[in-house]
């Protein structure tokens, strides 16, 4: 019996050591397997057999058995790679992956050899989907853990909403736009007469170089029977002058060279004969002529006494004389000057625009004075608004090189990702320490009110504001620091683009939340797509703090040096293609796009277990949870002992070859020794059998 037991003891030893060799072989076979965790075998003796001895009872061992095969989850070394989606965990965590055929079947792995497949799925080499959280633009998790799937490989565009332009404007610069002093020396004579319906005629000087002589009482007449215009007075100074047009307006070519020098546009359409009179001033503006009224043909010469008071455009500013009451009143245009008042008699009037008690505009009646009720209209153009007045959206270019002191061009984006040039022109102001500016886009790209509208040649003046977004005035202290900004937005319904029309201008109020951004900058409102406005804050280094303008550390200046752009920046961007992926230590997958955007996309989830020895190997470098391991505890990398993630690296197998070879030798020797037990026992049994012979 004892010899048989010896045989079985030897066999048990060979069996256990053979299995041990299998484990050793498995470890060695996976010495280069990414994320592989080695195993080790432990042995235990088999329940002993009790036998009788002289001293009582004793125990005979029955051999050996495998006690346990234990996983070794120590950290493997990290190998650098050239793929950003190769990931390694420095800690106790496991990546979570899902069976692509079963949404509820999750596995766990330390092998971080991942990539995005053709459908945008983040997968391991076996096609199992990596799990994590989607992130919003701020990098916050959205919803619960799910598959990491990149649904789009492009970055959508974002329209520009902030424009910053910091410049130095030459304090020794010149006023290149129309000279305000000439403009306001005389706004033109207003004719109160003629038998036409009361239609004002708005005059525009198209070509100042052709105006070489002053002509007072230059007179044009409309014949409704023949529907023709004629020059009936003052033409002797311009013998070559020709006039053409219809009931809606006229054009005059003073030197008969084929170009329009003066444009007249009626407020409506003349329905009866009439005569209009105005001054031709070399080289100033022509003003506005009003036809109508029942007064005798008395002309009112209008002059400006205080150009500083002219802050807002007021086209069609209208004054009326009540002969019975002997008083003047302002009947139109007052909305832009709420403090304005008028006084005077039959021979003259005085207008106080800003209510400070001084005369800003004076009107003198020619002849013996008004003897009947009469109404006269004229334009009010601000002294620092001349730059906007020389803008012509119908011309190419809309602004001549000699009409401004400095320009800056910024690239902005619309909602579709198209780029547009936003050009800001600067010109020396008419008042010391001031610069005026206009903000413009290409007229053909201006879609406000549905887009530009083609008009008859006689009415091209109403198109001249296309592309003009805003005008403004920058004020500076004596040491060249910016101190104040005034700004007006140019508005259009898509049919009236006339820069001389006061109704098209809106004075921006910093106390009006619709005029200013939350950061304290005035808003401009370009429209690059039909019926779609893109508000942008316009920052020149001066912000409104709720009570006053506050200068910022980087701001526009006025020093005695050539104009230059100190700093410029715009928000927004076009469509971008995914150029690359990066993964941070806290598991955030970030997309790098060709439009310069860097966006957080996903956060990788990690899991750990209370008993990692209870995990079941599933092959393909994956483990499955069991009752012994407990449920997975998932969280963000870097929390709860899960460890952090290293990109461009893979965790190597933790197999120690030297240790495995030593185990192999000891296992081999043990196996040989157990085989000898069987051989010797066999020889002993042979001797027993030989006793019978």
Nearest Cα to 407, choosing from 427, 435, 434, 385? Answer: 427
**Tokens found for residue 464:** 């001249």
Cβ atoms of 405 and 387 within 8 Å: the answer is: no
Q: How confident is the model at residue 431 (pLDDT cuts 50, 70, 90)?
A: confident
Stretch 638-656: mean pLDDT, rounded? 91
213/234 same-domain check: yes
Domain boundary among 547, 570, 593: 570
Residues in contact with 390: Cβ distance below 8 Å, sequence separation at least 6, in sequence order: 177, 178, 399, 400, 403
> Would you call the peptide bond into 283 cis, given omega within 30 degrees of 0 as the criterion?
yes
d(Cα 441, Cα 534) in Å, to the nearest integer? 13
Q: What is the pLDDT of residue 178?
A: 55
- The per-residue b/e assignment along 426-436, b for 16 or more CB within 10 angstroms, e otherwise, is bbbbbeeebbb
Total length of the chain: 693
163 CB burial (10 A radius; 0-12, 13-18, 19+):
buried
- Same structural domain for residues 440 and 311? no
The residues near 292 (Cβ < 8 Å, ≥ 6 apart) are 192, 194, 196, 197, 198, 199, 375
By mean pLDDT, which of 62-71, 276-285, 309-318, 615-624 is the weakest?
276-285
**Widest pairwise Cα distance in the chain:** 171
Element (H, E) at 7: helix 2-29
> What is the per-residue pLDDT across 512-536, written as a single tens digit (0 to 9) for each?
999 999 999 999 999 887 667 889 9
How far is residue 542's CA from residue 484's CA, in Å, rounded to a whole number? 8
Instruction: Tell me: do 302 and 360 sit in the same domain.
Output: yes
List the structure tokens of 577: 């293609």
CA–CA gap between residue 572 and residue 235 (Å, rounded): 57
Most confident of 129-138, 369-378, 387-396: 129-138
Record the tokens describing residue 688, joined without a space. Answer: 């027993």
CB 481 within 8 A of CB 550: no
Place of tokens 């332009």: 165
**What DSSP state is assigned to residue 133?**
E
196 and 145 inside one domain? no
Summarised one tens digit per residue, pLDDT across range 565-583 is 999 999 998 888 888 899 9
CB 549 within 8 A of CB 541: no
Alpha-carbon distance 415 to 369, whole Å?
Answer: 60
Rounded CA separation 293/595 (Å): 63
Query: CATH no. for residue 448?
Result: 2.60.98.20
Verify that 104 and 27 share a domain, yes or no: no
Identify whether 397 is preceded by a cis peptide bond (ω within 30 of 0): yes
Higher pLDDT, 214 or 408: 408
Q: How far apart are CA 484 and CA 563, in angstroms?
A: 19
What's the confidence (pLDDT) of residue 14?
85
**At residue 205, does pLDDT exceed 80?**
no
* Nearest alpha-carbon partner for 311 in 363, 343, 354: 354
Radius of gyration of the chain (CA): 46
Rounded CA gap, 511 and 370, in Å? 44
- Name which of 28-42, 107-121, 604-618 the model is least confident about: 28-42
What pLDDT, on the 0 to 100 scale, is given for residue 216? 64
Whether 16 shows a pLDDT value over 60: the answer reads yes
Please compute the mean of the pLDDT values over residues 213-232 and round it to a whole number. Answer: 81
| pLDDT, position 604 | 95
Which H or E run contains 247?
none
| Angle between helix 2-29 and 657-690 (nearest 10) | 160
User: For 95-101, what is the mean pLDDT?
Assistant: 94
DSSP-derived letter for residue 254 is T
With a pLDDT cut of 90, the percent of the chain lying above it is 38
pLDDT for res 483: 95
Q: Is 251 left (phi over 0), alpha (psi -120 to 50) or beta?
A: beta
Q: How many domains does the chain have?
A: 4
Q: Do residues 262 and 213 both lie within one domain?
A: yes
pLDDT at 458 exceeding the cut of 70: no
Provide the 3-class DSSP secondary structure of residue 459.
helix
In a shared domain, residues 508 and 556: yes
pLDDT of 318? 80
3-state class (DSSP) for residue 196: coil
Tell me which residue has tokens 């219809």.
246
| pLDDT value for 453 | 43
In this structure, the answer to whether residues 372 and 435 fall within a common structural domain is no
Say yes or no: 546 and 588 in one domain: no
Q: How far apart are CA 464 and CA 389, in angstroms?
A: 9
Q: Of 518, 542, 570, which residue is a domain's last?
A: 570
Which of 361, 384, 407 marks a domain boundary?
384
Distance CA 386, CA 466 (A): 16
| pLDDT beyond 50 at 29 | yes
Supply the DSSP string of 636-680, one letter for each residue. -TTSTT--EEEESEEEPP---HHHHHHHHHHHHHHHHHHHHHHHH
Element (H, E) at 633: strand 633-635
- 311 and 260 share a domain? yes
Contacts of 353 (CB under 8 A, 6+ apart): 309, 310, 311, 337, 339, 340, 360, 361, 380
Is residue 86 within 8 A of residue 645, CB to CB? The reply is no
Mean pLDDT is lowest, of 43-57, 170-184, 284-298, 405-419, for: 284-298
Q: What are phi and psi of 113, to 5 degrees?
A: -85, 85
Domain identity same for 539 and 616: no
Reported as a pLDDT band with limits 50, 70 and 90, residue 85 is very high
Coil, strand or helix at 122: strand
* Three-state DSSP state, 389: helix
Identify which has the larger pLDDT, 334 or 198: 334
Do 36 and 623 touch, CB atoms closer than 8 A? no
Instruction: Answer for the pair 613, 71: CB distance below 8 angstroms, yes or no.
Output: yes
Average pLDDT of the chain to the nearest whole number: 82
Q: Please, which pLDDT band fits residue 300 given cuts at 50, 70 and 90?
A: low
Nearest CA-CA partner of 417 in 596, 209, 261: 596
> DSSP labels for 482-499?
EEEEEEEEE---SS---T
H or E stretch covering 457: none
Closest to 419 in 3D by CA, of 538, 525, 528, 526:
528
Dihedral in degrees, nearest 10, Cα atoms 438, 443, 445, 446: 70
Distance between CA atoms of 259 and 578, rounded to whole angstroms? 55
> In which residue are the tokens 């080695």 written?
38
The parent domain of residue 52 ranges over: 2-69+657-690
Same domain, 208 and 326: yes
* pLDDT for the residue numbered 201: 64
């Amino acid at each position: 019996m004892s010899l048989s037991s010896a045989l079985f003891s030897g066999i048990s030893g060979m069996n256990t050591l053979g299995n041990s060799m299998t484990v050793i072989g498995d470890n060695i076979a996976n010495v280069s397997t990414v994320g592989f965790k080695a195993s080790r075998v432990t042995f235990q003796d088999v329940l002993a057999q009790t036998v009788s001895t002289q001293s009582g009872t004793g125990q005979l061992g029955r051999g050996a058995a495998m006690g346990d095969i234990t996983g070794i989850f120590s950290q493997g070394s990290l190998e650098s790679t050239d793929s950003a989606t190769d990931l390694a965990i420095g800690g106790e965590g496991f990546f979570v992956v899902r069976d692509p055929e079963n949404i509820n079947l999750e596995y766990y792995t330390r092998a971080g050899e991942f990539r995005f497949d053709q459908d945008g799925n983040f997968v391991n080499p076996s096609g199992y989907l990596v799990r994590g959280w989607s992130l919003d633009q701020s990098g916050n998790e959205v919803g619960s853990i799910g598959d990491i799937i990149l649904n789009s490989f492009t970055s959508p565009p974002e329209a520009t909403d902030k424009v910053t332009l910091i410049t130095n404007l030459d304090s020794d610069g010149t006023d290149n736009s129309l000279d305000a002093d000439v403009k306001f020396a005389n706004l033109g004579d207003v004719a109160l007469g003629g038998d036409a319906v009361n239609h004002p005629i708005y005059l525009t000087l198209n070509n100042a170089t052709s105006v070489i002589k002053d002509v007072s009482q230059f007179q044009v007449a409309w014949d409704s029977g023949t529907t023709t215009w004629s020059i009936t007075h003052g033409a002797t100074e311009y013998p070559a002058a020709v006039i053409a047009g219809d009931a809606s307006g006229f054009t005059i070519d003073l030197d008969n060279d084929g170009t329009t020098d003066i444009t007249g546009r009626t407020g409506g359409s003349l329905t009866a004969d009439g005569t209009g009179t105005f001054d031709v001033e070399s080289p100033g503006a022509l003003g506005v002529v009003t036809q109508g009224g029942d007064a005798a043909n008395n002309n009112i010469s209008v002059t400006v006494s205080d150009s500083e008071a002219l802050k807002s455009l007021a086209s069609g500013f209208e004054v009326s004389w009540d002969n019975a009451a002997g008083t003047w009143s302002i009947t139109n245009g007052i909305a832009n000057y709420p403090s304005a008042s008028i006084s005077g008699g039959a021979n003259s009037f005085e207008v106080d625009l800003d209510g400070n008690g001084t005369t800003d505009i004076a009107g003198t009646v020619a002849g013996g004075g008004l003897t009947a009720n009469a109404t006269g209209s004229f334009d009010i153009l601000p002294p620092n608004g001349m730059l906007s007045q020389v803008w012509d959206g119908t011309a190419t270019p809309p602004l001549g090189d000699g009409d401004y002191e400095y320009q800056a061009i910024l690239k902005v984006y619309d909602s579709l990702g198209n780029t547009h040039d936003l050009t800001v022109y600067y010109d020396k102001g008419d008042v010391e320490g001031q610069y005026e500016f206009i903000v413009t886009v290409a007229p053909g790209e201006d879609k406000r009110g549905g887009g530009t509208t083609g008009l008859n040649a006689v009415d091209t003046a109403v198109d001249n504001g296309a592309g003009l977004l805003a005008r403004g005035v920058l004020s500076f202290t004596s040491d060249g620091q910016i101190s104040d900004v005034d700004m007006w937005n140019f508005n259009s319904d898509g049919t009236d683009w006339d820069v001389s029309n006061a109704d098209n201008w809106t004075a921006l109020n910093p106390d009006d939340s619709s005029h200013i951004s939350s950061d304290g900058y005035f808003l401009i409102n370009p429209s690059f797509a039909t019926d779609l406005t893109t508000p942008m804050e316009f920052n020149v280094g001066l912000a409104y703090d709720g009570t006053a303008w506050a200068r910022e550390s980087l701001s526009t200046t006025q020093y005695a040096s050539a104009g230059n752009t100190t700093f410029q920046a715009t928000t927004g961007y076009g469509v971008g293609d995914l150029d690359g992926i990066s993964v941070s230590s806290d598991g955030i997958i970030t997309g790098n796009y060709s439009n310069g955007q860097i966006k957080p996309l996903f956060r990788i989830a990690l899991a750990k277990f209370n008993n990692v020895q209870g995990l079941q190997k599933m092959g393909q470098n994956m483990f499955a949870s069991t009752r012994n391991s407990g449920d997975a505890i998932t969280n963000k990398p870097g929390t709860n002992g899960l460890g952090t993630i290293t990109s461009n690296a893979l965790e190597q197998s933790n197999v120690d070859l030297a240790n495995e070879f030593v185990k192999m030798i000891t296992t081999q020797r043990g196996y040989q020794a157990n085989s000898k037990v069987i051989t010797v026992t066999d020889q002993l049994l042979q001797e027993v059998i030989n006793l019978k012979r």
